[in-house]
Amino acid sequence: MSRDSKPLDAELRTRLLQEARTPWRSLRRGLWIALSASAAVGMATMALRLASGAEVPSSDLLIQLSALGVFGSLLWFDRNRSS
């Protein structure tokens, strides 16, 4: 059962260790970006409605503002902290 065991390339080893420490990071970051963009589009839509003189319920504005804050902060906390 002895196979030719070659040591891993240093770059590959680093990437694999990083993935083991933070699994699914790219998928999570993509989700946070998509949800943040959705909240930003909702805020822009509400701003345009306000600019046109239409009423925007304050509860809807609060929901969009909260979503933008939450998903933006999740994106911030999920950043790569190694320099």
| Other Cβ atoms within 10 Å of 71 Cβ, number | 20
* pLDDT value of position 68: 94
Domain assignment present for 13: no
Whether residue 33 lies inside any domain: the answer is yes
Residue 2 predicted with pLDDT over 80:
no
pLDDT of 80 reads 72
Single pTM value for the model: 0.72
Asked if residue 9 belongs to a domain, the reply is no
Residue pair 30/66 in contact (Cβ under 8 Å)? The answer is no
Closest CA to 37 of 71, 13, 6: 71
Residue 69 belongs to a domain: yes
Between 1-15, 17-31, 63-77, the lowest mean confidence (pLDDT) is in: 1-15
Amino acid code (one letter) for 82: S
Distance, CA of 70 to CA of 36 (rounded, Å): 8
Domain count, the chain: 1
Q: What percent of the chain has pLDDT over 70?
A: 92
Residue 22's pLDDT is what? Answer: 79
Residues written for the chain: 83
Q: Is residue 10 part of a domain?
A: no
Range of the domain at 30: 25-77
